[in-house]
Structures are given as C-alpha cells and as structure tokens.
Amino acid sequence: MNSEKVVFAFFILLAATLNFGFFVGAVHDSGHHNVYELFAALVISLIATVMKFGDRTHMGAVLLATSLVADLQLIIAAFVWGYAVNVGEPEDLQSMLTSVVSLSAGALLANITSVVLLVIETVTVRR
C-alpha cells in the first residue's frame, strides 16, 4: 500500500466532508453554520491543494484546478463572513450568510468533482 496515496486521498475526502458539514443546514440560520468548521474546511482544502502541486499528469492538473476553485470560494466565503461580523451592519448578517453558504456550495461542488476524479484515477490505475 502506498502511504502517500492514502494521505493524499485522506485530505481530499476530509476537505469535501468538512465543506459538506459546513454547508448542511438552513441557509439563513447562522446557528447551523459554524465559523470554525468553515475555517477547518479552508485549512484542509489548502493542505490538499499543496499536496496536488507535485503531480505533473493531466489528471493532476485537473485535480489541482478543482482544488484551487474550492480554495478561492472558501477564502471569499471567509472574507464575506469576517466582513459581515466585524464591519457590516447587524441586519445584513443574514443576507451575507446566504452568500457565505452559497460560496461554500460552489466549493463543495469543486470538492465533489475532485473526489470523483480521484475515484476514476484509482479505478483506471493498473496494478
């Protein structure tokens, strides 16, 4: 068993599941979306992105692209949440939270694409 591949797959799946955990819940209810879970999803997604830099195959490039999309969306979501809490008006928090959850949904789609590509790559690899 290749431990490098295990760690690689672990971080890809962990990024997707953390993002899913943040995304699930009522869009407008801040009690359903934990800021620490968004932070964890972003950190793990960034770690997964760094791990994808060494792959020079076409599949590696597509995996890196999906990871970069997820990172960008999660970073923007974190900035929007930070702005809403620290700078914005309290009555704007609900509309901004909707944007944060929507951005997280986009990152989740990119993470799901990454997981599907990982499964396809795993199935096509010959022993």
Under 8 Å between Cβ of 117 and 63: yes
Question: Is 29 or 101 the better-scoring residue by pLDDT?
Answer: 101
Per-residue pLDDT at 42 exceeds 90:
yes
What does the DSSP 8-state code read for residue 102? H
Per-residue pLDDT at 25 exceeds 80:
no
Q: Is 93 helix (H, G, I), strand (E, B) or coil?
A: helix
DSSP string computed for 37-83: HHHHHHHHHHHHHHHHTT--SHHHHHHHHHHHHHHHHHHHHHHHHHH
Query: Residue 127 has what pLDDT?
Result: 60
pLDDT tens by residue, 67-123: 999 999 999 999 998 998 888 787 777 778 888 999 999 999 999 999 999 999 888
